Amino acid sequence: MKKTILFIGLFSTKLLCAQNQIVLNADKGKDIIDKNIYGHFAEHLGHCIYGGFYVGDTNKVIPHKDGVRLDVINALKKLKVPVLRWPGGCFADTYHWRDGVGTKKERPSMLNIWWGNVKEDNSFGTNEFLNMCELLGAEPYLSGNVGSGTPQELADWVKYTTHPNGSSPMTDLRQQYGRPNPWKVKFWGLGNEAWGCGGNMKVEYYANVYRQYATFMTNWNNSDRLYRIASGASDADYHWTEVLMKELPANMFDALGLHHYSVINWSKKGSATKFSEEEYFTTMKRALLMEELVTKHSAIMDKYDPQKKKHLAVDEWGGWYDVEPGTNGAFLFQQNTMRDAMIAGATLNIFNNHCDRVKMANLAQIINVLQAVILTKEEKMILTPTYHVMEMYNVHQDATMLPLEVTSNKYILGKDTLTAVWASASKDKNGATHISLVNIDAGKPQSVSINVNGANYRSVTGRILTSDKIQNYNSFENPNKIIPAVYNGAQLSGSKLNVNIPPFSVVVLELK
Ligand code: AHR
């Protein structure tokens, strides 16, 4: 009897202290991690555009170029933002682009019905956005109005932005408004959340509407092909993906969207900064569902497109909590803690590992809205923990994904468990390998033993993002409370790499 107890005791201790194991297959890289997985999203919502990006071209206090904040542009350049989705979101299906071009005086005002009924004066429109993307070095992703627009309106937007000078009344208009040459606009969304704020359509109906819009939305006169993205499923709506794959002609689309937010409960989201471990655990459970969503939506796409020519664009993702006390409930302004760093780190690892199908993702949203990378308050600007994860991970952009075999401990809370360690790896164009590791466990460090196959590394360096409380965040008073630090917790010995990751931390290693 005693022996049995001793055996069970030893066994359970071993389980609790078991080392996480990772096999790095350094010679099995095949797929490229599309840089657009590190994309962002900017909607006319709260202070994302107005106050966040754009402070007006007559502003005397905040340094700007044509009204676009230079502090924000400089910070975003360090992230290497590859693609930026605009103007929504729900706003996109109420937006008429002709209202936002021409002299500012000519532009009519409208009410932003989705986001607080505030006045939208259209002072930030197509020219401002596309010029800003050029300044930022990011590709624009225009989200077209299918819900309340017309095929003609969207076809005209394509002409206005991309057709050669002198080829249509739309290109004449562009010239009249100060831009003779087209911009480069490859990415086009045909509606947003067509199942909801984009028109409450059934997928069978949307598939037909999509075909109609896509027919006229081409760049016949331009050698750069458009990349058309259909409004995709919400979360686990696999029927939506199935019908689109069945009904959309292959030559009419390039990707299907997918939206998934990490929300505890839509009617009780909870504070962004004051949360219990139970709430943290639930948020992470929602975030990690992304692994299953991407796997299952991809499996449906595989049935129709085994060669993976059609892509998944996760064009809205991130954490969603209650707004900060005292702020407008429709503006979705929330603080950003180490919990958000965990969402970002784990989710980006999931996207990297699924880079054969996931070719774009857009974090919602870039400034002052939901899981933002930047928060602004008049002339002040702060970088959030999510910003730092994005910056640390930008080494993966356009690198070759190296497959990992991960055996992870569990993060246990009560009777529920989650995988504790989330990882991905890639090899960049200069031959350096990067491994990004996240330990989502709120209480326990994780020691990880990595066996390297197919490469001989001589050195390892690293950076870490961590803090002493998971509720910690950067504030306007203390903007650098959470910033990446040099990490010395990795030891390389032959083909073995041992790493210790503190609780709720993100580590990015460079191996050469
Ligand atoms: O990102 C905020 C909103 O969430 C978007 O406008 C909409 O597409 C989604 O429901």
Separation CA 197–CA 91 (nearest Å)? 9
324-335 burial, b for 16+ CB within 10 Å, e for fewer?
beeeeeebbbbb
pLDDT at residue 333 in the model = 98
Catalytic residue from among 43, 128, 316, 391: 316
Separation CA 152–CA 97 (nearest Å)? 12
Distance 240 CA to ligand 1 centre (A): 18
Q: What is the DSSP letter of 92?
A: G
Tell me how crowded residue 270 is: count the other CB atoms within 10 A of its CB: 19
* Ligand 1 pocket list (CB less than 6 A): 43, 88-90, 192-193, 316, 364-365, 370
Nearest to 225 by CA among 247, 250, 253, 244: 253
Ligand 1 atom 3: residue of nearest CA: 89
Quote the pTM value.
0.96
Catalytic residue list contains 510? no
Ligand 1 atom 5: residue of nearest CA: 89
Distance 464 CA to ligand 1 centre (A): 31
Opening angle at CA 286, ends 48 and 352, nearest 5: 75
Catalytic residue from among 128, 193, 291, 391: 193
Which of 41, 43, 141 best tests ligand 1's pocket when mutated (most atoms within 8 Å of CB)? 43
Task: Report which secondary-structure segment, H or E, holds 10.
Answer: helix 2-17
Tell me how crowded residue 77 is: count the other CB atoms within 10 A of its CB: 13
Specify the length of the chain in residues.
Answer: 512
Distance 365 CA to ligand 1 centre (A): 9
Separation CA 112–CA 143 (nearest Å)? 16
Contact 337, 473 (CB under 8 A): yes
pLDDT at residue 149 in the model = 97
Contact 446, 421 (CB under 8 A): yes
Dump pLDDT digits (tens) for 51-82.
Answer: 999 999 999 999 999 999 999 999 999 999 99
Helix (H, G, I), strand (E, B) or coil at 412: strand
Which residues of the chain fall below pLDDT 70?
Answer: 1-18, 219-224
Query: Which amino acid does the sequence have at 374?
Result: I
Contact 114, 167 (CB under 8 A): no
Ramachandran angles phi, psi of 124, nearest 5°: -110, 110
Distance 166 CA to ligand 1 centre (A): 37
Separation CA 191–CA 214 (nearest Å)? 11
Contacts of 284 (CB under 8 A, 6+ apart): 262, 339, 342, 343, 346, 411, 418, 440
Ligand 1 atom 6: residue of nearest CA: 89
pLDDT at residue 225 in the model = 86
Ramachandran angles phi, psi of 447, nearest 5°: -100, 135
Ligand 1 atom closest to 192 (CA): 8
Catalytic residue list contains 193? yes
Ligand 1 atom closest to 364 (CA): 1
Separation CA 179–CA 131 (nearest Å)? 10
Distance 90 CA to ligand 1 centre (A): 6
pLDDT at residue 63 in the model = 97
